[in-house]
Chain A
Amino acid sequence: MLGYVIRRILIMIPTLLAISAITFVIIQLPPGDYLTSMVNEMQSRGESMDQGRLAMLRETYGLDRPMIEQYALWVAGMLRGDFGYSFEYNMPVSDVVGDRLVLTAVISVATIIFIWGVSFPIGIYSATHQYSLGDYTLTLLGFLGLAVPNFLLALVLLYFANVWFGTSIGGLMDPHYLGQPWSVPKAMSVLEHMWIPVMVIGTSGTAAMIRRLRANLLDELHKPYVVTARAKGLPPGRALWKYPLRVALNPFISDIGNLLPHIVSGAAVVSVVMSLPTTGPMLLQALRSQDMYLAGSFLMFLAVLTVVGVFLSDLALAALDPRIRLGGGSRR
């Protein structure tokens, strides 16, 4: 088992390297670089820029060097913890991103808890009461959740939160806390604002998860070992909890790896609508203005999340399911 863990960690290195190369190439694919798009923008505003200064900038940022060299510099920098320099903000990337990453992580974790907490009981109910009125109602709600566009839901919720609770529109905290150091009232304000984005971002995930748990559990409920459990005299509730539910959990665990990056990147539109200070809107802007180090750092962050998430879910699966832990190789 230990050997497996070490091997998996080692395999992550070439995976991340390959992802970084692809990311870099894709960012570089559009013609021009940050400076050309800056010049274009200035020209459209009727301003002009000194050619000498342009050349100097180009040299400082290494934009005139061949692509391979730029890539090597970028990767080497990242290994030292230096994520490069954001042209747009005129600051090192790590300073630009800092706070936003923390808030993104907070929202993501809250969203995952929300998704699990809501979908689990509903999924179990739907499966055990298949084709009942409750199942149909919950299924309908689930499909509504899947079908309603996130940003629309966000706007509606924002409106009602403002009308009923007096919560300020947009952002993750009341405006006067912006730029202030962290304090208890500021944290409370974040909590007050957070439930809307969490619900909005989590709705579609919850609906999908309910459908998946229902389907998984329905498959398991008709397996002979469930009948065996009943035939032993086990009460129905415990027979459900101990046997089929445990088997139905596997797809959930293996989903963690997908869930993390999906929530982080999928929330971009919602974040723009609600002007949340998370990473999503920033990534969008960075990609548009070819702010390559900022965009690259974001994409690498997502990649690391995916790779680590998949690794964690594999470990959790092995811990949960003895067939995975012990089965490999022993069967024909």
Chain B
Amino acid sequence: MALKLADYKTDVHNDWCPGCGDFGIVNAIQMALADMGIQRDKAVMFSGIGCSGKTSHFINTYGIHTLHGRVLTFAQGAKITNPELTVVAIGGDGDGLGIGAGHFVAAGRRNVDMTYIIFDNGVYGLTKGQASPTLKLGEQTKSLPSPNTNYNVNPIGLAVASGFTFVARGYSYDIKHLKDLIVQAVNHKGLSFLDVLQPCPTYNDINTRDWYAGVDLMDEAQKRHSRIYKLEETGFDPVVHYADEVEINEKLSQSLIKSLEWGNKIPIGVFYKNDTISPYITRLQDKIPNYMENPPSKQNISKNGHSNTDISKILDSLEV
């Protein structure tokens, strides 16, 4: 039976602030799951802590609401032990790029076949609006006592540098585009990263929905100039077409340059896609030939209530 969009929604009350950008993201995830027809009980949403962390409760698949900064660790453990699962990890920018930055970098190096979506709003919402790692130096959102004293992290650049093999940015108020990005990210064989710009209407009074829409940039003819533009509409080619150092370096460099664009022109879309790097499970399979058909979660570990593992050869080598 084909699944409908409604099948991916739970009846859990959603307590995000009215007008929160998170609503668009959760809708886009549900739409993407429905689009791909992924069985609900073959998918797991892992989430971190903060407003975005509640997302796993709103999606009707397996949902694991983990710890602050640690979502990738749980998610990788599940995917490695059961490679059949569709795994999506979700968290805020503070969660993934502040407390969880070490895991972010290490996950890139592993390239486990799953998707990581960061809800990027520049503030710590649930603790009342402190500066997050993506807020620019010197900016002062409304609940900060003084301007931000830290330089911002560049999520796209960090992902590319860390080894993520699919790196894209979406915008929470362009749901259809975001949904398409999520579909591409989930279908990518390797670790995909989606940085989703998401206005926080309560605490971020700088990067608001109107700001992204370029209301302040209106010209004399009252014509809007949205700050956001789509990379794919500019002929930008993010794909590494063949496994060659020059080709890879070129695609890496152009994505990094693009990731630095901010201010009046903010690119969304796919920055980088490299299918020439092996996913982590393939690396395990190189050592353990039957890993895919007999991964840890599928292994039978007992016979008649006793161990069925034969360690006699190792014991022989220790016997005197």
* Physical interaction between A and B: no
